[in-house]
């Protein structure tokens, strides 16, 4: 491996030249009757809690230029109750209905510049997403169910035919039909959020595999996940016959081949999914005793683990299990993983460390917009163009992250591999100019 200490402008220009000559694939929907749409999916997760510490309201998707580069926004997250239902609750640990649709958004944070009044049926993030869609009519918004923290009871919801039917019906009623619980002051009510969400994204982490401690895990999760996506497809299609629209169904899938085998019937689930986003990050972090890459395109030369993870390994794993490449969307991180107390010599890669690097919100985890300010400010940028990853090192602290050059390289890989597009976690990690999202828009533009 030959790391590069500085950005190689000529390499980036070469990548851009190759991008405009690579033909885009077509991406088929799960129920599109054989019609195929040109272009790439560009999916971004919007976090419910990003309005707080990160000060990232929905409006920033518009003012930064991100919204015009995206095809889908996934709202993170929707919760699953112990008895297997979609629900919204403001109780501790259960949700934040205030952020979702109760909070009166002031004029300066509003997409259309109009402030919410207290007690309107649809305030908060949901109301702003409705305004964003009105301004960007081609943009689709999906509710993402589960995530790391709220996958606890997915297994209960998927366990039987009756539980699956009830679960799916509850999710469609709550999010697509928009029948929200009425909150103090009057927000919510029948049809309050109708039209905000176009479809469902399943973020069960993970079927028949440990995720967050306390998750319910059963061996039958593997088959039940297939039955669950089939039930979602049936009910979404039935609902679509009343709306005269296709309502997309997607899923977030793991990078670990062992997790793939434990929890998924690879070929079968894609009969029902419009597409799936594949985890392209968290390959390594401060839970490891040595520094490493968290999102490399390929396994770097000299990597201490064998086998190891990479984006190419993750995509290859799903292809080997029968996934159609035109339904695979590669996940890209808008954050980095970091270590401190790094010893050894050289550029800091694959060296012992004492623990997670200090950071703004979570030790060992930092947004791209903050990491980008470190380059040239005590930290040196290193990169491995062959493996497709970059890192920052100041002699003591090490951050692995994706900068625009790495993101552009990944879009080239997506095009050459014939994949369906890119997904990002999460939009609030980008800078105020949406630099990474604009890079994806450039890299996946249709000539």
d(CA 316, CA 419): 11
CA distance 321 to 267: 6
Closest to 373 (Cα-Cα) out of 355, 356, 363, 360: 360
Are residues 144 and 74 in contact, defined by beta-carbon separation less than 8 angstroms? Answer: yes
First to last CA, the chain: 34
Compute φ and ψ for 346, nearest 5 degrees: 85, -145
- Of 82, 109, 205, 366, the catalytic one is 205
Using CB atoms within 10 Å of the CB of residue 98, give its burial: 0 to 12 exposed, 13 to 18 middle, 19+ buried.
middle
- The C-alpha atoms of residue 447 and residue 442 are separated, in whole angstroms, by 10
Query: How large is the C-alpha radius of gyration of the chain?
Result: 21
**DSSP per-residue letters across 66-118:** -GGG-SEEEEEEEEE-TTS-EE---STTT--HIIIIIS---GGG-TTS-PPPT
Distances from the Cα of 125 to the Cαs of 50, 58, 99, 248, in angstroms? 10, 7, 6, 21
Neighbours of 139 (CB within 10 A): 18
Bridge partners for 63 per DSSP: none
Give catalytic status of residue 205 as yes or no: yes
Active-site amino acid positions: 205
């Amino acid at each position: 491996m030959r790391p590069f200490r500085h950005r190689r402008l000529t390499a980036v220009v070469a990548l851009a030249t190759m991008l405009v000559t690579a033909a885009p694939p077509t991406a088929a929907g799960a129920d599109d009757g054989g019609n195929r749409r040109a272009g790439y999916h560009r999916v971004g997760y919007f976090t419910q809690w990003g309005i707080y510490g990160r000060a990232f309201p929905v409006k920033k998707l518009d003012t930064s230029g991100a919204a015009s580069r995206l095809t889908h926004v996934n709202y993170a997250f929707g919760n699953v109750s112990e008895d297997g239902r979609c629900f919204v609750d403001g109780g501790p640990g259960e949700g934040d209905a205030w952020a979702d649709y109760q909070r009166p958004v002031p004029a300066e944070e509003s997409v259309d510049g109009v402030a919410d009044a207290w007690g309107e049926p649809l305030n908060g993030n949901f109301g702003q997403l409705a305004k964003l869609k009105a301004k960007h009519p081609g943009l689709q918004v999906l509710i993402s169910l589960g995530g790391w923290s709220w996958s606890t009871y997915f297994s209960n919801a998927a366990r039987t035919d009756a539980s699956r039917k009830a679960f799916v019906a509850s999710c469609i009623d709550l999010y697509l039909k928009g029948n929200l619980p009425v909150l103090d002051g009057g927000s919510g009510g029948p049809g309050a959020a109708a039209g905000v969400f176009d479809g469902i994204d399943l973020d069960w982490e993970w079927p028949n595999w440990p995720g967050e401690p306390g998750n319910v895990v059963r061996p039958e999760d593997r088959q039940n996940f297939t039955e669950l996506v089939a039930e979602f497809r049936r009910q979404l299609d039935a609902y679509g016959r009343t709306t005269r629209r296709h309502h997309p169904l997607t899923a977030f899938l793991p990078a670990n081949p062992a997790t793939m085998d434990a929890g998924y019937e690879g070929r079968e689930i894609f009969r029902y999914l419009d597409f799936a986003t594949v985890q392209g990050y968290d390959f390594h972090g401060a839970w490891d005793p040595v520094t490493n890459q968290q999102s490399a395109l390929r396994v770097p030369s000299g990597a201490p683990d064998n086998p190891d993870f990479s984006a190419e390994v993750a995509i290859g794993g799903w292809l080997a299990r029968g996934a159609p490449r035109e339904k695979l969307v590669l996940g890209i991180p808008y954050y980095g993983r970091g270590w401190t107390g790094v010893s050894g010599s050289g550029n800091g890669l694959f060296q012992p460390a004492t623990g997670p690097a200090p950071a703004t919100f979570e030790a060992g985890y930092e947004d791209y917009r903050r990491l980008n300010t470190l380059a040239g400010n005590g930290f040196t940028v290193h990169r491995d163009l062959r493996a497709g990853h970059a890192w920052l090192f100041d002699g003591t602290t090490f951050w692995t992250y994706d900068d625009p050059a790495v993101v552009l390289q990944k879009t080239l890989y997506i095009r050459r591999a014939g994949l369906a597009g890119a997904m990002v976690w999460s939009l609030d990690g980008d800078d105020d100019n949406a630099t990474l999202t604009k890079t994806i828009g450039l890299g996946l533009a249709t000539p």
